[in-house]
Structure 1
Amino acid sequence: MPDQQPVSPHWGVFVPPGLSCDAHCHVFGPGDRFPYAESRRYTPEDKPKEVLAALHARLGLGRAVLVQASCHGTDNRAMLDALRSDPTRYRGVAMIDDETPDATLAEMHEAGVRGIRFNFIKALGGGPDLAVVRRAADRVRGLGWHVVLHLQGDGVAEMAPAIRALRMPVVIDHMGRVDPEQGVEGRAFRMLLALLEDERIWVKLSGAERMVPAPFTAALPFARALLRAAPDRVLWGTDFPHPNLAVPVDEAELLDLVPLIAPRPEDRQRLLVTNAATLYGFGD
């Protein structure tokens, strides 16, 4: 049996509203059932669906969006298995390529997939040809899906024209992983704010632990600015189990940042509940 104990003894102080959604988390393996991709740049510790469910029970989160990670590549079976285990509470974001059959897209939609993700982080192998992204977007647009982009810093500005040209909702992961040393006036962050003027573009107020050291409060100015720019198009997530992060993270500390990002209850409701329900089609 996988370890279902809390990942740390800290339980946090913020109690999230009912049906709060972890809009960015992963399941890894188990590798003997769902092997990792041969082309992967890292091999994670197994964190199957049971471990993720235990984390959400500990934090008081009622919904989740399971995002396919590069270590599994376009083999989405582990993510889909988790979606099917709790179809009311879970939605998914897949990774696909030109070889993914249309029938598989239909099966994934039935299982709860609502988006596709492309990774443009150089350390993880860099991004695909933009023609691949456009072809994939064209294939899933009719399903009502969106595109999720994992970018880093200057990649936000470099990808801005392509993002605007996609003609469908686009979600930017982890606040664009901008360089915190450049501050909120940095070129990449200003471009991210400019992109949010387009009502098709969303952003996740996640990844504070990738930007700054604990207690992560140095990331607050970025998250607050994004929430002000697009209060109805911001999402929050834990990024559990934090792949490729060297320092252990207590997700309760990340959840405790939420009232600091969004002091007003109505903004917290949007960030944790309403926005995710809108984008991912959760029922009431």
Structure 2
Amino acid sequence: MTEKLEKFPDGSCDCHVHIYGPFDRFPVDYSGKFAPKQEFPVDMLFDVWKTIGISRGVIVHAGNAGSDNEVTLEALKRFPDKLRAVAILNQDVTDKRLDELTDAGFKGVRINLLYQDGKPVLSGGGMNLDDLKALAPRIAERGWHAQLWIETGDLQQLAPEIEKLPLDFVIDHQGRTMADKTVNYSGYQWFCDRGLKSGRYWCKLSGADRNTRVGSPYKDTEDFMKALVAANPDRLVWGSDWPHVGHADDAVPKESVLMDLFRRCVPDQAVRRKILIDNPARLYGF
């Protein structure tokens, strides 16, 4: 007999997903580690959300998902009450286009500053710090934030520079710190002790499958999530990272496992509600 999945509570938000296709309308880039192996359109996303109890969410436009955010923009126009988004932009984007994206529900830009094991995860891919500096005044006027794909140690070093920008920052995947560094890693301690308490940063409880060194059910990442929750639960949101591109077939995480990880690390029902429902509503304007 199949065990019934315990769903998240009504109103829960998945704050980190990607969509791809249909390919005949939204061609993708098949190069690199994060190329999709099949179509993952928005309707398939909704099927997944229905099974796990998600009511709304945030599409992070993926570099491989096609140019100019079109697949994501169409999804937001179809489902304005259920979706918000994070864009990838060029510095020369027009004010007219920025206004169109803002009106549709785009709330931020994703900046690639990620190094892992001393190497860039995506060499030359996506938006960089120079792009952010150039765009910061215009996106700040529209109430956007910067979503940073960055490791906490690198963030600590960069903080004095980026905090001069008129933006708040959302940190991807629990600071993308690999689990073998341990929760006592200086960059992680800085982010918990200072970053999350400064009023400038949010963090996504996501990416355990990216940060683990031992695999599912990602027990080596538990202390990291618990530390973030202890530091400031008012500045956290949850994300599945569906459809988990970039993994080998035998390492693609199951949503049920990621949900169980969240419940283990966040046992308090009131705190869960903050992270799943209340905080996303504030951050993304639902």
Answer whether TM exceeds 0.5 for this pair: yes
Distance 1:265 1:147 in 2: 29
Please give the secondary structure, in 2, of the residue aligned with 1:82.
helix
Please give the secondary structure, in 1, of the residue aligned with 2:54.
coil
Distance 1:116 1:44 in 2: 21
Corresponding letter in the other structure for 1:261 = C
Give the equivalent residue in structure 2 for 1:165.
164
Give the equivalent residue in structure 2 for 1:19.
11
CA RMSD of aligned residues (A): 2.1
Give the share of equivalent positions with the same residue, in percent: 35
Distance 1:70 1:159 in 2: 23
| 5+ residue gaps, structure 2 | 115-119
Q: 1:14 to 1:159 in 2, by over 3 A?
A: farther
Give the equivalent residue in structure 2 for 1:276.
280
Distance 2:177 2:130 in 1: 25
1:24-52 CA deviation, whole Å, 9 max, x = no partner? 00101222211224886642122111111
Distance 2:29 2:137 in 1: 25
Contact kept in structure 2, 1:41 and 1:71, CA below 8 Å? no
Distance 2:95 2:5 in 1: 45
1:201 and 2:201 aligned: yes
Contact kept in structure 2, 1:90 and 1:112, CA below 8 Å? yes
Q: 1:251 to 1:216 in 2, by over 3 A?
A: same
Moved over 3 A (4+): 9-14, 37-42, 126-129
Give the equivalent residue in structure 2 for 1:78.
71
Query: What is the CA-CA distance between 1:134 and the residue it aligns to?
Result: 1.2
Please give the secondary structure, in 1, of the residue aligned with 2:49.
helix
Contact kept in structure 2, 1:37 and 1:75, CA below 8 Å? no
Residue 68 of structure 1, aligned match among 61, 71, 86: 61
Contact kept in structure 2, 1:73 and 1:95, CA below 8 Å? no
Q: Structure 1 residues 121-130 or 67-76, which shifts more?
A: 121-130
Query: What is the CA-CA distance between 1:89 and the residue it aligns to?
Result: 0.9
Q: 1:139 to 1:61 in 2, by over 3 A?
A: same
Query: What is the CA-CA distance between 1:53 and the residue it aligns to?
Result: 0.8
Q: Structure 1 residues 10-19 or 91-100, which shifts more?
A: 10-19
Query: What is the CA-CA distance between 1:10 and the residue it aligns to?
Result: 7.7
Distance 2:232 2:66 in 1: 31
Give the equivalent residue in structure 1 for 2:226.
224
Contact kept in structure 2, 1:20 and 1:61, CA below 8 Å? yes
1:94-152 CA deviation, whole Å, 9 max, x = no partner? 11121211111111111111111111231212575523211212111011111101113
Q: Which aligned pairs between 1:1-284 and structure 2 lie closer than 5 A? A: 13-37=5-29, 42-45=34-37, 46-72=39-65, 74-121=67-114, 122-126=120-124, 128-152=127-151, 154-193=153-192, 194-212=194-212, 213-246=215-248, 247-282=251-286
Q: 1:128 to 1:57 in 2, by over 3 A?
A: closer
Contact kept in structure 2, 1:67 and 1:93, CA below 8 Å? yes
1:139-175 CA deviation, whole Å, 9 max, x = no partner? 1101111110111353323332233222321100001
Corresponding letter in the other structure for 1:237 = G
Q: 1:227 to 1:78 in 2, by over 3 A?
A: same
Structure-2-length-normalised TM-score: 0.89
Q: 1:36 to 1:155 in 2, by over 3 A?
A: farther
Q: 1:218 to 1:192 in 2, by over 3 A?
A: same
Structure-1-length-normalised TM-score: 0.90
